Amino acid sequence: MNFFSSILASNRKSLREGAFLKKIPLHVAIIMDGNGRWAEKRNLPRSAGHKAGVESLREVIRACIDLGIKYLTVFSLSSENWKRPENEVRFLLKLFVETLKNELGLLKNHGVRLRLIGNRRGIPPEVLKVYEDAEMETSANSKLNFNIALNYGSRQEIMEAVKKICSDIGNNKLKYDNLDEDLFSEYLFTGGIPDPDLLIRTSGEYRLSNFLLWQISYTELYFSRVLWPDFKRKYFIMAIKEYQKRQRRFGKV
């Protein structure tokens, strides 16, 4: 039994006791924030914070599989993050590629399907190939749909959708009268993915940072002061428990 499997086995019994699993979100989205501050507090380079954040993501993925959450979407790199120092961006991209290559076997074996959401035109070709290869290799999996938002910005996403719709109407591929919210959603990077039930942001920041603005119209928001590298399994479970206390009315009484 490998480390991944042992963690799942040791926690499965306790998680499945009682009524805890009766109200599990279908889709959880996460803004993974605080890597840099975590490193600075320890007088470490920012790169150390990004490395430490990888383990938190591993634990969250394990928890999602164990709880039966079907969709997990994480904000990996925004379209604005390219403005960060060049060496940090270069390190992040290298870390993304190395981590994905190292973890791909486990993702495949545990039924995880990976999907890249974002503007692919702006991603370096060598990085994009690794992600697209992983998409193809995991395309038959269905236990957990793991969506990585890379070079993603929600306003850009909406503008791209509008342009595609205008083009399709102009080319008689789409009738104006047939356009509704559901059809519009299919033109987004997240087409075919249900809207998040729960959005988590770590590090004590209370903003959405241009993430899934269309998709989170009725999403429950959960803000944690915990920095992402410290946001291990127990804090994720706390967020799920808080979600279970919410009454979702979707505008109704």
Catalytic residue among 11, 81, 141, 210: 81
- The tokens for 19 are 């009524």
Catalytic residue among 33, 145, 151, 197: 33
Q: How many other C-beta atoms lie within 10 A of the C-beta of residue 133? A: 14
What integer pLDDT is reported at residue 85 of this predicted model?
81
**Residue spans per domain, the chain:** 23-153+195-245
Q: How confident is the model at residue 248 (pLDDT cuts 50, 70, 90)?
A: confident
Q: How confident is the model at residue 84 (pLDDT cuts 50, 70, 90)?
A: confident
Q: How confident is the model at residue 20 (pLDDT cuts 50, 70, 90)?
A: low
Sequence letter at residue 66 = D
pTM to 2 decimal places: 0.90
First to last CA, the chain: 49
In order, the DSSP letters of 144-162 are EEEEEEEEE-HHHHHHHHH
Residue 2 catalytic? Answer: no
Residue 33 catalytic? Answer: yes
What integer pLDDT is reported at residue 18 of this predicted model?
45
Domain 23-153+195-245 has CATH 3.40.1180.10: yes
pLDDT at 241 over 60: yes
Average pLDDT, whole number, for the chain?
A: 91
3-state class (DSSP) for residue 112: strand
